[in-house]
Amino acid sequence: MKRWVLPWIILMVSLVVVLVSFLPAPLISNRFDVDEAVIYAGQSTQTPQFIHFQIFYPRWIRLDESGSFLLKINLDSAEMGDLRAWQARLEMNGVVISPHGESRQRAVAGRETIFRWNIKPYKRNAGRGTIWVYQVRDNGSNEGEARLILAHPFEVSTLNSPGDLGWMLLRVVGSGGLAASLLWFWIARNQNAVLEENSGGVAKN
């Protein structure tokens, strides 16, 4: 039985290495509801109406690899008032963000608005950030008036490594360990089958 211990250890360690180096991180989802009174100032309705914000981002991300940050905005009401657009900005420490700076999309009644950013950490202990969301209201100018309605801090954990080469090396080592352990099990199984066959032949003789 002792000869089976080492291959099993190699198999389990290699499997963990492969999972960590290959599998994407699970997504974190947060939802926030804001009273639409922030848009319709001075107006009141019998039924409360809300703006629904949902953000999605990876629980962790490997250093020098890319991930996505997603923001979705929905309105309960089809009434837009003087709302013209949504404006959003993503800020993160030690992370390359694309697109960078302010992003703006026209608000359309009954249609979900989606903002998406590509994020890529470039240094260790990166990933702390804030998502800023503004409503853009008509004030007679081309740009409109942007008013902050949501500022949410968050953090994406960074898995440190020597960079792309480090993750590639882990993947090669993990895959090699899996292949070697499975090959060992296959050879050992065939050897056992041969021994059992020979033992059976000797017993008959």
- pLDDT tens track, the chain, 205 positions: 556 666 667 767 767 666 666 667 788 999 988 887 766 655 555 566 788 999 999 988 887 788 999 999 998 766 677 788 999 999 999 999 999 999 999 988 778 999 999 999 988 788 899 999 999 987 777 778 898 999 999 999 887 655 545 556 666 666 667 677 777 667 777 766 655 566 655 455 5
Q: Which amino acid is at 88?
A: A
Handedness of CA 59, 163, 92, 137 (dihedral sign): negative
SS3 168: helix
Q: For residue 166, is it left (φ>0), alpha (ψ between -120 and 50) or beta?
A: alpha
Superfamily of domain 25-159: Immunoglobulins (2.60.40.10)
Assigned token pair, 24: 């994407």
The helices-and-strands tally (H runs, E runs) of the chain is 2, 11
SS3 67: strand
- All structural domains of the chain with their residue ranges: 2-11+163-204, 25-159
Q: 97: exposed, middle or buried (C-beta count within 10 Å: 0-12, 13-18, 19+)?
A: middle
